[in-house]
Amino acid sequence: MLRACNIEKYYLMQPDKLHVLKTINLEIEKHEIVAVIGSSGAGKSTLLHTFGGLDTPSSGNIFIDGCDIYKLRDAARARLRAKKIGFVFQFYYLLPEFTALENVILPALVLGVKASIARQKAKDLLKELGLEKRMTHHPSQLSGGEQQRVAIVRALINDPDILICDEPTGNLDSETGSKICDLLLRLNKEKGYTILIATHSQALAHICPKTFVIKDGAFVE
C-alpha cells in the first residue's frame, strides 16, 4: 500500500545543510493504522508531507500501490494525490467564506465530480459524523472539534485509500481530542481506511497497533 525506502530530506540553510529526515524506511499495509510519535521539530510533518506527495525527498523512493510517486510528473502526482490520499491537518484549513458543506464539496469539484452528486455525498458524510445541523455554518460558527470533523469529512469526500493526519488532535482540548481519536479508529475499523498519523499525543498513539518514534529526523527503537 504505502512504502518508503531510504528517504533523506535536506534543506539548504546557507552556508549549512539542514538534515531533516535520515534514512527513513517504513511500510504500511492496507487497512493498517500507524502512528509516528515525536516532539515538535522531530521531522513528523516533513515525513507526512513527503509520504503524501507534497514535499519531494532529497533521495529515496515513496511507493503507493507499487507506484513510485516521485517518478511521476507533477500533474500526474497531483491526480494520484487527489484520488488516493486524504489529508487532515492540525489547523483545519477550512475556507472561512464557505460553509461546512461547501468546504467539503470543493475537493470533489476539483476532480470533476458533478456538483449535485458531490453535494449529496457531502451531506451524507457530514450526517454520518454528526454534523447534519452544522452544514450551513461557517468555520467561525463551529467549535474546534466540529471544524476538525468537517476537515475529516473533506478528506473523505473523494474516497481516498489513505488518510494522512498531521497532529489531528493537537489544537483540541483532551475531551474533544479523545472523540477525534475514537472517530479515526472507527474509520479504520468500520470503513477500512489506511491511516498514517503524526502526533506527540500518547493518547492518540495508544489507539494505533503500530507506532514509530522519530527523533532528530530518524526512527529510534
Tens digits of per-residue pLDDT, 22-65? 999 999 999 999 999 998 889 999 999 999 999 999 999 999 99
Task: Mention every residue, 6+ apart, whose C-beta is less than 8 A from residue 127.
Answer: none
Rounded-to-integer distance, Cα 201 and Cα 169, Å: 8
pLDDT at 2: 94
Check: CB of residue 57 under 8 Å from CB of residue 11.
Answer: no
Across 29-107, the runs of DSSP E, i.e. the strands, are 33-37, 59-64, 67-68, 85-89
Task: Mention every residue, 6+ apart, whose C-beta is less than 8 A from residue 135.
Answer: 99, 100, 101, 123, 126
Q: Show me where the domains of the chain are located.
A: 2-220
| pLDDT tens, position by position, 107-164 | 999 999 999 999 999 999 999 999 999 999 999 999 999 999 999 999 999 999 999 9
pLDDT at 203: 84
pLDDT at 14: 78
Looking at CATH, the fold of the domain delimited by 2-220 is given as Rossmann fold (3.40.50)
pLDDT at 76: 96
Whether the bond into 15 is cis, omega within 30 of 0: yes
